[in-house]
Amino acid sequence: MERTVLPNGLTVLSEFVPGVRSVALGAWVRTASLHEAREEMGISHLLEHMVFKGTARRSAHEIAGALESLGGSLDAYTAREHTAFQARVLDEHLMQAADVMADVMFRPALRSEDLALERKVVLEEIAMVDDTPDDLVFELHNEALWGAHPYGYSILGTRETVGAIGIDALRRLHARAYQPGQMVVAASGNLSHEALLGALRATGWGDVPAGAAEAPVAPTPVSAPPSERRVQREGSQVHVVFGSATVPHADPRRHTLVLINTLLGGGMSSRLFQRVREELGLAYSVYTFQSFHVDSGTHGVYLGTSPVNAELAIEAVRGELARLVRDGIPDPEIAMGKQQVKGQITLAMEGVSSRMYRAAAVELFGEPYAGLDDVLAKIDAITPEDVAVCCAAFFAPEQQTLVSLGPT
């Protein structure tokens, strides 16, 4: 991996991948829902939508077709800590991808008439989540787990907050956040670092004034005490999420947590799948999840089941969590889990997009670059004692916040 910081503060990273004919190009803005005031919840996501509505050079339709007409793609997403834009194109179209992304990110029109339309689109997106209980239950769980902290906010915002955001607020956020010193550009695929720098310079990335280099400061995360919340709603299933706060991305225990979550609910061979679905027949879908941020993390379990089986399924999950803490994980099972995690990592690294994300993570999370062999060595180095300590620290049933959504 190679790294350069342009004179205006833009950080650029790249990784050459032999044997491919494509390039993944991404840009991350260090502002997202974590940095929002409660009354402006969803403003980062709304701005992400608005920049695609047109620039001085391109209409919304021209932006949409600029890379699709070449067989490529351009999209964006808003996460907790970053707003990201990414393109996937043939290697010969790197310049076009860099040009369209620069136009969208640095020169959006941000017109009032576009906001009136796009607000309706985002409100439909919010309505879609409200009508999708297995999505909505995660929103409710975040709120229960993090309380008043922005980790508990909805990335999309609410109907009330999105409805109140005006064009001036969007313009202020764009002027404050979309600055080179607060951005990271990463690319992976059939390209050299010099070719990437040349494409960025030729398309104006290096000409954007530096602006403020300091990213916004987020409040220190403090999770709420473990709790249980049952939300009554019509439907044919009860959707349940257990979870608790864990560790930041840079914490070395992250790899151990990934291993434990994989063995607990990471596939058809996992403990939860075998117990809750195969042995007891209480659910079709049951799995674990985790996320790691700059200053905290989350892990948990999701299951969807019928109302008549909900309490049985919840107790089955609690039983598996208690067994995990009480008995730990036998060495042969740990060895199997290591092989599974290493295989997943290795297979993921065969894609240029995954390598692009890995390159960006080096800068976004302030961690030294680690090659594939180094990462696999960290998995191999996990000891049974490491596993036992993490099981006791994060997986006890009484430490989990539980939220259920569905009929009684």
266, 272, 274, 279: CA torsion to nearest 10: -160
**Please, are residues 307 and 407 in contact by the beta-carbon 8 Å criterion?**
yes
Nearest 5°: the CA angle 236, 237, 242 is: 165
148-161 residues labelled b (16+ CB within 10 A) or e (exposed): ebbbbbbbbbeeeb
Q: Where are the alpha helices (DSSP H) in 131-203?
A: 133-146, 159-164, 167-177, 193-202
Residue 294 to residue 133: CA distance in whole angstroms: 29
48 is an active site residue:
yes
3-state secondary structure of 379: helix
Instruction: Catalytic residue, from 15, 36, 40, 48: name it.
Output: 48
Task: Give kind and range of the element (H or E) at residue 261.
Answer: helix 253-265
**Please, are residues 313 and 305 in contact by the beta-carbon 8 Å criterion?**
yes
Task: Just list the catalytic residues.
Answer: 48
